[in-house]
Amino acid sequence: MIIHQVLFIVFGIICVAGAVNLLAQRHPINSALSLVVVMASLALIYLLLGAEFVAAIQIIVYAGAIMVLFVFVIMLLNAGEEERTRGSRIALLIGVPGVVVLAGTVGWLLVHSGGQLGSVSISSSNFGETHSIARLLFKDFLLPFEITSVLILIAIMGAVVLGKREG
């Protein structure tokens, strides 16, 4: 499908551009909004893969709930523009070689075994559909799923306790 490929490239470019913009912007609100763009274009890429439910949840949870709270906090604190610094020395010493090594590995893999990489296919026809995800979450992985919810609950209670102590 040529349309799928074109759409994938378009949203991929938007996604990467949003991520770069997130780092380049000096104002926290602009950075947060770039992150929303990244989330939204990721959701559209999920949609292109046929994972409708995951795409919708990506929008509702990440772009719609978590990032709204981020923006909310930035607005409440009325955070201004950040000073542009020269960057830390650790980032220069470890980060730059790290990026070079990572990019080199990925590039080398793509060049040398690129033929095998494209052969991964998602076999199940109802991949990413609501029913199959529900079956996975509430049947096959019920225990980890419930334990995660308890973990989140503990985190919420911890936040409340810390907040009370401050006040």
The contact set with other proteins (CB under 8 A) reads 29, 33, 36, 40, 52-53, 55-57, 59-60, 63-65, 68-69, 71-72, 75-76, 129-130
> Which tokens in the block code for residue 6?
């074109």
Rounded least distance, CB 52 to other proteins, Å? 5
Q: Which is nearer to other proteins, 72 or 141 (CB)?
A: 72
Q: Is 124 helix (H, G, I), strand (E, B) or coil?
A: coil
Q: How many CB atoms lie within 10 A of CB 40?
A: 21
Rounded least distance, CB 71 to other proteins, Å? 6
Rounded least distance, CB 27 to other proteins, Å? 8
Q: Which is nearer to other proteins, 66 or 103 (CB)?
A: 66
First to last CA, the chain: 58
Q: Which is nearer to other proteins, 27 or 141 (CB)?
A: 27
Q: Which is nearer to other proteins, 9 or 69 (CB)?
A: 69
Is the Cβ–Cβ distance between 121 and 49 less than 8 Å? Answer: no
Rounded least distance, CB 93 to other proteins, Å? 36
Q: Is 51 helix (H, G, I), strand (E, B) or coil?
A: coil
> CA distances (Å), 124 to each of 56, 57, 127, in order?
20, 20, 5
Q: Which is nearer to other proteins, 81 or 140 (CB)?
A: 81
Rounded least distance, CB 39 to other proteins, Å? 10
Query: Position 15: which residue type?
Result: C
Query: Which residue, chain included where needed, has tokens 């980060």?
Result: 95
Cα–Cα distance measured from residue 146 to residue 81, given in angstroms and rounded to the nearest whole number = 41
Q: Kindly tell me the number of DSSP H helices and DSSP E strands found in the chain.
A: 8, 0
